């Protein structure tokens, strides 16, 4: 049986619980989810209780079935790697504060990246409000 999201690729920049849980549901429905971590790793990795490999049981539960890559988007080399990967994905899931992803990627508006591959329509799922004072 083919799952409903088979063939959909998701880049998951989210942290803590809501985003990883959302991408877990996407993975459970067949999407290929690539979890993007910064070099210091996901903070949930170290929340007790810990599994025998030193990672949190919560981390394992939220990230089962996902691939993982490390990017430091403050570094030009990793920004370039990300931009090379972007045309191969369908969804970017992120939970940065408004404007942070644009700053990290050195673009004025995230919409500039939406049409990097004319055969795919990039969807940006933002888990934080764009409204702030």
Q: Once rounded to an integer, what is the mean pLDDT over residues 72-84?
A: 92
Q: What is the C-alpha separation between 80 and 110, in angstroms, rounded?
A: 16
Q: Are 57 and 24 in contact (CB under 8 A)?
A: no
* pLDDT (0 to 100) of residue 110: 78
Q: Are 74 and 104 in contact (CB under 8 A)?
A: yes
* pLDDT (0 to 100) of residue 61: 94
Q: Once rounded to an integer, what is the mean pLDDT over residues 26-49?
A: 92
Closest CA to 66 of 115, 14, 130: 14
Q: What is the C-alpha separation between 9 and 41, in angstroms, rounded?
A: 21
* pLDDT (0 to 100) of residue 133: 42
C-alpha distances in Å from residue 46, one per residue of 33, 75, 80, 87 = 21, 25, 29, 33
**pTM (two decimals):** 0.87
> What is the per-residue pLDDT across 94-104, written as a single tens digit (0 to 9) for each?
888 888 888 98
Domains of the chain: 9-126 (3.40.50.10540)
Whole-number percent of the chain with pLDDT over 90: 50
* pLDDT (0 to 100) of residue 132: 43
Q: Residue 29 — pLDDT band, cuts 50, 70, 90?
A: very high
> What is the per-residue pLDDT across 104-131, written as a single tens digit (0 to 9) for each?
888 888 777 777 777 777 677 776 655 4
């Amino acid at each position: 049986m083919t799952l409903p999201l088979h063939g959909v690729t998701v880049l998951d920049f989210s942290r803590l619980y809501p985003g990883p849980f959302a991408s877990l549901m996407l993975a459970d429905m067949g999407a290929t989810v690539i979890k993007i971590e910064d070099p210091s790793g996901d903070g949930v990795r170290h929340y007790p209780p810990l599994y025998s490999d030193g990672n949190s049981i919560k981390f394992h539960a939220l990230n089962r079935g996902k691939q993982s890559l490390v990017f430091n988007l403050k570094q030009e080399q990793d920004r370039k790697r990300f931009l090379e990967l972007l045309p191969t994905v369908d969804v970017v899931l992120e939970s940065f504060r408004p404007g942070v992803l644009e700053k990290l990627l050195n673009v004025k508006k995230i919409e500039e990246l939406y049409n990097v591959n004319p055969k795919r329509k990039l969807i940006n799922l933002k888990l934080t409000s764009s409204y702030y004072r």
